[in-house]
Structure 1
Amino acid sequence: MKHIIVSIIYSLVFGCFCNAQNRKEWIEDITYYQKTLEEKHINLYHTISKNELNSEIENLKHKLSSLNDFQIIVELMRITQKVGGGKGDGHTSVPLWNRELTRYPIELFNYDGDIRVISIPKAHQQFLGKKLKSINGIPVEDIYKKVLKLTPFTENKYSAMDRTCSYMLVSEILKALNIITNSEQTAFTFTDAQGIDKSIKLKSYNKDALASISYEKLKYTHPNITPPQDAKNKNLWFSSLNDSKTIYINFKAYPPEDEMNNFSKQIYQFIEENKSEHLIIDLRDNYGGDFFKGLILSSYLNTCDSINWNANVYVLINRKTYSAAMVNAMQFKQILNAKLVGETTGANPNGYQDLGQFSLPNSKLLITYSKRLFRFQETKSNGVQPDIAISSKWTNQKNSIDAVLNWVLKDISNVDVTKD
């Protein structure tokens, strides 16, 4: 009996010692977090005052003993979001890139408040397109509001709609917010078109396991535009239609500089040989990179005299057009006289950008921050506004209709008819 009591006391004392050590490390990390952001951010207190941030930091330090590690991380995400997220500084964030996370194997999309499933394992494909009603019995509206307050990389309502749908599927975040307790068997409830609710149990998986799952997906497509069979890069390719009169450039990610140069030369040669007249640059779902590489493309395109520069150049944008892609969209409008068609971008034209990063010394948690202040237009706006606004609608997604590309191709055909 005496041995058991001694063991219990030892465990309690040793456990308290470990918690104290852990708390001490987190205090060091949180202090380093604020100090380093102040040193590296171009203007840390552009939205939040120093007194307010000090208060947030001190409150977090005081309640460390009542939080587990990931709850502390979530608190840092919330504080960092108050520094810039949603207020023109989406690059200052706690992105969780270097954490071992598990996610639920579905993809969600926010159609003006209706959060629907656009990708799900084939075993549950009957729920594709259904509205998500609740997770673990908690209404999706309540979950969305909680996750929205800490979601990284949000600059306006459009990036918030996109990013929040992603982060609310991270099981560690849902646990930290006390929305779920068991990530192995979590109840997801969906509502169909008749208002009938059905639930399934889903397990969260790590990145490798998610990649091995076979999914059923909804996506917008166009029957006349497909990547060439010899395309070396699935995120950067071009094709032609209308007897090569129209060039479509799929620009979803930024390649190395030499690859962009080679790609731009190929397009230039194709346009010159075929005397192409119409140009479409698709920047939808492009999360950014180095906008100077986009200028390489525009410099080659600008030398093509056969293009109808007065009327038939189009750049497609949506809520997932971020950072450098947003900048290139604006530059292509200026340099190439392009019409911007689609949805407002998730990134703002005026604001804090150009991402830097550092890690906290003990937890190794990654923190990102803004190094530059960019002003790409005279007036402030939440996102780059399209010249032709075409919002994301569920009816189009359900029927695999690319309404944006359809509008552009119709506009091109109208111009050709007028010319004839």
Structure 2
Amino acid sequence: MIMPPINWPSDLTQLAVDLPNWHKNLFFQQTKKEFFSRIDVLKQKSARLDIHTIVIEIAKIVATIGDAHTAVVLPRYNRLPIEVYCFQEGLFVVAAMPTCQNLLWQKLIAINGETISSICKRLEQVISHENQSFVLAQLPEYLICTDILFGLGIIDDLHHVTIQVETDQQKIIDCQVHAIKYEDWQDVLTEQKQEIVALPLYRQHPDQYYWSHLTEDKGFLYVNYNKCKNMTEHTVEYFSSKLIKRLEDNLTIQYLAIDLRNNGGGNSELLKDFLHWLGKFKRLNQQGHLFVIVGRDTFSSALLNVYYLKYHSAAIFIGEATGGKPNCYGEVKYLSLASSGLAIRYSTQYYKLIEDETQLSFEPDVVKEVTFQDYKNHIDPCLEWIYQQIQVGPV
């Protein structure tokens, strides 16, 4: 069956009509003239562009809105066989398929001859964001997607890419890498899970939305809350009720850490009952006994939970500036462009948590940046700082 060609001018017209009508306040940062002008320019040249480039150009237009919740859902089929992460020292390969094990722990310098610094600046135009923390959070996913790299003109072949890395001996190496399908990486992750040992708590159980770890003889309970969403096995309400019972019954628990650094959001109401209870639980809700860890991936509903704790507890906040902006648009719905089927998220509500409209992130009381050496050596600087405060050894 031959699919009819995509009518991009029609889709762009739909975008120009529907997005301003359905978004809560599309023109809070740019003028209508700027938005419509960008769409008109793309319409005029759309016939000369391939599908990958047009999708990226639409993503750029949507990103100029300045709302991290409003973004093009970029189609992702092909990826590099590696995982990367942005550290204080630069961007490093933190996982790799067997065929690319020589790249593991190496610093990424360039892709197809273009420096990582230049590529990151170009990707920033595609990523809908409100602050640099969110850009840092999103870059690793964008950098490994060859569909995106191709659409930006960084690579000219979806399946064969030249990567340049710098070794720990400061030797520069060029590597030819073959892209894979996203589903093929999942199989690799399943195999690698069996080999994970001695990881810090925040990197354990990535498949679970919430879990806890108790070191009873040290009076310390660590709670990891990775997603504001119910798991199939048990709900957040059930998990919260078990936590409350454990904390009420076990008088040896004198310290509590809630880790929200990897929580990208969901439904903020799910944890509200537990947070409300915690605010009245005097044994833990006092200075030096309650800690909250935040980071670049703390976003949306997770940030609402952070601010609830800020206003209703004596918690000390540790980590990085959040990817979520305190006052922001949210409550996402989806728009589908009729001809291409391209999906676009858009915000339907505005949330005001603080008076200062210029504040771009929630800033923790104690800043602990992510370093490559800590990551490679399985050290969590946030928990290490907490251990020092409560004078206990590592969990």
**Shorter-chain TM-score above 0.5:** yes
1:35 corresponds to which of 17, 20, 23: 17
The offset of 1:199, in angstroms, is 2.3
Which structure has the larger Rg over C-alpha atoms? 1
- 2:185 matched to 1:210? yes
- Whether the 8 Å contact between 1:349 and 1:381 is mirrored in structure 2 is yes
What is aligned with 2:324? 347
- 2:236 matched to 1:260? yes
User: Residue 206 and residue 389 in structure 1: after superposition, are their counterparts in 2 closer, same or farther (change >3 A)?
Assistant: same
CA RMSD, 1 decimal = 2.6
Residue by residue over 1:260-319, the C-alpha shift from the partner in whole angstroms, topping out at 9 and shown as x without a partner, is 111111011111111222111000111111111121221333454432524311110111
The offset of 1:30, in angstroms, is 0.8
What is aligned with 2:124? 148
Query: AA paired with 1:177?
Result: L
User: Residue 232 and residue 374 in structure 1: after superposition, are their counterparts in 2 closer, same or farther (change >3 A)?
Assistant: closer
The offset of 1:184, in angstroms, is 2.5
What secondary structure sits across from 1:386 in the alignment? coil
The offset of 1:165, in angstroms, is 2.5
The offset of 1:232, in angstroms, is 12
What secondary structure sits across from 2:185 in the alignment? helix
What is aligned with 1:13? none
- 2:44 matched to 1:62? yes
What is aligned with 2:247? 271
- Whether the 8 Å contact between 1:119 and 1:215 is mirrored in structure 2 is no
- Whether the 8 Å contact between 2:88 and 2:369 is mirrored in structure 1 is no
What is aligned with 2:86? 110
Trace 1:252-331 onto structure 2 (pairs within 5 A): 252-256=226-230, 259-275=235-251, 276-331=253-308
User: Residue 218 and residue 155 in structure 1: after superposition, are their counterparts in 2 closer, same or farther (change >3 A)?
Assistant: farther
What secondary structure sits across from 1:79 in the alignment? helix
User: Residue 220 and residue 157 in structure 1: after superposition, are their counterparts in 2 closer, same or farther (change >3 A)?
Assistant: farther
The offset of 1:252, in angstroms, is 0.5
The offset of 1:109, in angstroms, is 1.6
What is aligned with 1:418? none
TM-score under structure 2 length normalisation:
0.90
- Whether the 8 Å contact between 2:81 and 2:100 is mirrored in structure 1 is no
The offset of 1:220, in angstroms, is 9.0
2:337 corresponds to which of 350, 355, 360: 360
Aligned length: 384
Residue by residue over 1:322-344, the C-alpha shift from the partner in whole angstroms, topping out at 9 and shown as x without a partner, is 11111211211222221111111
What is aligned with 1:91? 69
- Whether the 8 Å contact between 2:88 and 2:372 is mirrored in structure 1 is no
The offset of 1:233, in angstroms, is 7.0
What is aligned with 1:76? 58
Q: Which runs of 5+ in 1 are unaligned?
A: 1-17, 415-420
Trace 1:128-277 onto structure 2 (pairs within 5 A): 128-152=104-128, 154-213=129-188, 214=191, 221-222=199-200, 234-243=208-217, 245-256=219-230, 259-275=235-251, 276-277=253-254
What secondary structure sits across from 2:164 in the alignment? strand
User: Residue 112 and residue 255 in structure 1: after superposition, are their counterparts in 2 closer, same or farther (change >3 A)?
Assistant: same
CA distance in 2, matches of 1:226, 1:54: 44
What secondary structure sits across from 2:169 in the alignment? coil
- Whether the 8 Å contact between 1:220 and 1:401 is mirrored in structure 2 is no
Q: Which runs of 5+ in 2 are unaligned?
A: none
CA distance in 2, matches of 1:350, 1:369: 16
What is aligned with 1:6? none
2:381 corresponds to which of 379, 387, 403: 403
- Whether the 8 Å contact between 2:237 and 2:271 is mirrored in structure 1 is no
Query: AA paired with 1:334?
Result: Y
TM-score under structure 1 length normalisation:
0.85
Query: AA paired with 2:144?
Result: L
Query: AA paired with 2:119?
Result: I
